[in-house]
Amino acid sequence: MLFPTCSGFLALFLVPFLTGRFATVHYEVRSNWAMDKSSDQLREVEVPHRLSAVFSSHFGAGNAMRIFRAPGRVNLIGEHTDYNDGFVLPAAIDLYTWTAIAPRTDRTLSVFSENFQQVEEIDLTAISAAKPRDHWSDYVRGVAVMLQNAGIPLSGANMAIYSNVPLGSGLSSSAALEVSVASALLAVSGRSLPLGEIARICQRAENEFVGARVGIMDQTASCVGATDKAILLDCRTLEYKLLPMPAGVTMVICNTMVKHEHSGGEYNDRRAQCEEGVRILRKIYPQIKALRDVSLAELEAHRRDLPELIYRRCHHVVSEDERVLKTVSAWQSGNWTEIGRLMAESHLSLKRDYEVSSRELDLLVEAATGRPGVIGTRMTGGGFGGCTINLVESANVADFTAAVRAAYTKAVHVDPEIYVTTAGAGVSEVNEND
């Protein structure tokens, strides 16, 4: 059966879809540009001009260079539901990956990463034989492979890439890279695709090339994000609705500084455990296709048919889907106390049932809980490190960041990066002088 509250919800809120990772790398990021601390990061206005200069110094001036920018994302609620065909509520953030690109006459992609200070050459004539190397360029190669597999013949190009999305922090630096590169490659090859299709191709790059079986949330958020809007996404249909961020509420992201990766390992294990749950439950409910189709009552009725671990994994996903829909109702009626309660429940469920939180994430949540102006706090993204998302009344942001920084530094002896973000626009071409 369809998730109980879901059909009414869809009828009420969802508008037709307008045509429409995250594996992180472990390498230390180097850059000639100051970007170690959030406060020192280049803001987006400065980047196109500087990236253009970097591009010219590597590949020469005078090319018809264009620049594409794709954002990272933060997830407000709906964690590990996307690959279960469920609901998520992310927002694109004002941290981005930029790709400067110009065509070449041969069929080589020459890619310079400003963050890693490395050049990679990718031979498009041999792209079907390309293999991942646990390297930042896997995402570029993977996107090129999947675009070609989708029947898009790519032109050779020179590319320079820069990102201020912190790597390995659960803010989708991989999706930002994939979407930025895909948009640049499409443009230089004289092609265009609907945003939903770009998101799917980028997800495929990560699933089938890099080897992380991530869902569709990050790439979609990077494609369809909108200024001052959260995105309610149905991960089965890819239909989405933009919800205005409330005035006077700020998204504050706190980074544990513990990096994580999704390529293989625990993330893929969780996904396999959900599939195992579906396999068992389908014997009882043959019509279900994914955990999204199971209600909490149905899950509880057959709790004993599932191994205890599988039950807990399913319980997280099924209850989290409900929490997303309840959050949207509370959002519509301005019930921020309820949103705070749902975010707290989500964190506990991720900690106890899904077991993807960590001591550091829990400490950040504890440090934030109950502070003046805090509406809600929880871990965000895949987990095992990374960041928390905090909805904070704007007037309290300065006191909040100071207090959380002090508490975390005292407990862990690590200074957390804190990003005071706004919901930003999805992928677009930008002007060098913007």
CA 192 to chain centre: 23
Selected from 25, 82, 156, 316, the binder of ligand GLA by CB under 6 A is: 82
| Residue 47 contacts residue 98 (beta carbons within 8 Å) | yes
SS3 at position 388: strand
415 is catalytic: no
**Selected range binding ligand GLA among 77-85, 120-128, 156-164, 237-245, rule: CB under 6 A:** 77-85
Scanning residues 167 to 226, which ones bind ligand GLA (CB under 6 A)?
A: 214-215, 217-218
Q: Which is nearer to ligand GLA, 75 or 358 (CB)?
A: 75
Q: Which helix (H) or strand (E) holds 204?
A: helix 195-204
Q: How far is the CB of 376 from ligand GLA (least distance, A)?
A: 16
One-letter amino acid for residue 8 of the chain: G
Q: Which is nearer to ligand GLA, 82 or 360 (CB)?
A: 82
CA torsion 160→165→168→174, rounded to 10°? Answer: -50
Query: How much of the chain is in helix, strand and coil states, percent to nearest 5?
Result: 45, 20, 35
Scanning residues 247 to 276, which ones bind ligand GLA (CB under 6 A)?
A: 262
Q: Which is nearer to ligand GLA, 38 or 220 (CB)?
A: 220
Query: Among the options 218, 234, 321, 353, which is catalytic?
Result: 218
32-to-71, 136, 254, 352, 375 alpha-carbon distances in Å: 21, 18, 25, 42, 38
With binding defined as CB under 6 A, does residue 384 bind ligand GLA? no
With binding defined as CB under 6 A, does residue 80 bind ligand GLA? yes
Q: Which is nearer to ligand GLA, 241 or 378 (CB)?
A: 378
CA distance 366 to 52: 43
65-to-179, 240, 261 alpha-carbon distances in Å: 18, 33, 33
Q: How far is the CB of 232 from ligand GLA (least distance, A)?
A: 14
| Residue 14 contacts residue 241 (beta carbons within 8 Å) | yes
**Selected range binding ligand GLA among 42-50, 79-87, 252-260, 286-294, rule: CB under 6 A:** 79-87
82 exposed, middle or buried (CB, 10 Å; 0-12, 13-18, 19+)? buried
**Selected range binding ligand GLA among 72-80, 103-111, 302-310, 388-396, rule: CB under 6 A:** 72-80
With binding defined as CB under 6 A, does residue 381 bind ligand GLA? yes
Q: How far is the CB of 82 from ligand GLA (least distance, A)?
A: 5
Q: Which is nearer to ligand GLA, 24 or 137 (CB)?
A: 24
Q: Which residues are catalytic?
A: 218
Which residues here bind ligand GLA, judged by CB under 6 A?
A: 21-22, 75, 79-80, 82-83, 214-215, 217-218, 262, 381-382
